[in-house]
């Protein structure tokens, strides 16, 4: 499916168009369309992690429309499920829960699609999607060949992967294979989840859904891209100096002895929660979320984000980095 001069859906609700938009459902379709497509290429999912700084993308936007899902294997304790990259992520989570498959429940209600989830390494409430990924089937736009990546080959880190690097952008995610548990095993590291008596897949999901709805705006009602910034990760020495001045600073253990700090808490401490600058603002219930209050431009949102970065750097000596992908 090919559209010319097409508006690009994005949850920030910014006006953005593409010279050409190609939607495909298979590697064969993609291979047919690629040779004549104008570069640069941009591969998008549900548009829930994008900020279009340009009103027109002068190239080709691709979208994977494959939404198939099937069990392809497993053993006595786990099952392998393959999902198309275009499947809405939360539909995948609901599908797993309905069949008694464990592992995806902590990632309930995260917006976006399966392919983008694997690229971004989405995470919430003590879990990351890499924890359940077995392999990824990707299309190499330079060779027009399919390549399968094992999870260990994807260079996963905090909100990062091979597919977000300059080298890895040559790969479009076609589908993802997940390994899910068949026996009850829950990740209850997130505080409110520990309050559950006799947790079930349904009760864990319900708790997470209610928590997300209480803290985060509904993208159908308020323009945003969820968490705008990543939580910064600092060394132990830096953390020690900060906690001496801010003993109540939230923190979490990270890899290699590092410490993850709460970007939302720091932004709140700088007085930005509920703040507005023009038609862009900071969400009243969660300072990590920037919102379009109606008719905001990309420039207004970027300007507000830069103001926040500057304030946090001055107060805490920590540099925030956007989680949102800014398309220029």
As a whole number of Å, the CA-based R_g of the chain is 20
Q: Which of 13, 17, 159, 293 is catalytic?
A: 159
Whole-angstrom Cα distance, residue 208 to residue 159? 20
Residue 138, strand partner residues? 147, 173
Q: Which two tokens stand for residue 301?
A: 């949102």
SS3 annotation, the chain:
CEEEEEECCCCCCCCCEEEEEEEECCHHHHHHHHHHCCCCEEEECCCCCEEECCCEEEEEEEEECCCCEEEEEECCCEEEEEEECCCEHHHHHHHHHHCCCECCHHHCCCCCEHHHHHHHCCEECCEEHHHCEEEEEEEECCCCEEEEEEHHHHCCECCECHHHCCCHHHEEEEEEEEEEECCCCCCCCCHHHHHCCCCCHHHHHHHHHHHHHHHCCCCCCCEEEEECECCCEECHHHHHHHHHHCCCCCEEECHHHCEEECHHHHHHHCCCCCCEECCEEECCCCCCEEEECCCCCHHHHHHHHHHHHHHHHHHHCCCCCECCEEEC
Whole-angstrom Cα distance, residue 306 to residue 327? 16
Residue count of the chain, please give it: 328
Is 99 a residue of the active site? no
Is 159 a residue of the active site? yes
Is 227 a residue of the active site? yes
Q: Which of 135, 161, 224, 227 is catalytic?
A: 227
Residue numbers annotated as active site: 159, 227, 323
């Amino acid at each position: 499916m090919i559209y010319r001069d097409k508006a690009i859906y994005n949850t920030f609700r910014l006006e953005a168009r593409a010279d050409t938009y190609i939607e495909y459902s298979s590697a064969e379709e993609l291979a047919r369309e690629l040779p004549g497509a104008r570069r640069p290429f941009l591969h998008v999912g549900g548009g829930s992690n994008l900020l279009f700084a340009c009103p027109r993308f002068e190239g080709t936007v691709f979208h994977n429309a494959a939404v198939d899902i099937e069990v392809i294997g497993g053993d006595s304790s786990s099952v392998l499920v393959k999902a198309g990259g275009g499947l809405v992520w939360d539909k995948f989570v609901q599908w797993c829960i309905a069949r008694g498959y464990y592992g995806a429940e902590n990632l309930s209600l995260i917006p976006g699609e399966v392919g983008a989830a694997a690229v971004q390494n989405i995470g919430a409430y003590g879990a990351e999607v890499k924890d359940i990924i077995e392999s990824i089937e990707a299309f190499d736009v330079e060779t027009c060949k399919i390549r399968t990546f094992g999870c260990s080959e994807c260079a996963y880190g905090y909100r990062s992967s091979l597919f977000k690097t300059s080298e890895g952008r040559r790969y479009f995610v076609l589908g993802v294979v997940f390994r899910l548990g068949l026996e009850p095993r829950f990740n209850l590291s997130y505080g409110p989840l520990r309050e559950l008596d006799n947790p079930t897949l349904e009760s864990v999901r319900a708790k997470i859904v209610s928590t997300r709805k209480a803290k985060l705006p509904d993208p159908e009602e308020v323009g945003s891209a969820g968490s705008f910034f990543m939580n910064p990760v600092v060394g132990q020495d830096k953390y020690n100096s900060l906690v001496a001045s801010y003993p109540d600073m939230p923190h979490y253990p990270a890899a290699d002895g590092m410490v993850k700090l709460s970007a939302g808490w720091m932004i709140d401490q700088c007085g930005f929660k509920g703040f507005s600058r023009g038609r862009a603002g900071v969400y009243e219930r969660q300072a990590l979320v920037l919102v379009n209050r109606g008719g905001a431009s990309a420039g207004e949102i970027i300007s507000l984000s830069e103001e926040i970065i500057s304030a946090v750097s001055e107060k805490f000596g920590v540099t925030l980095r956007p989680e949102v992908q800014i398309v220029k």
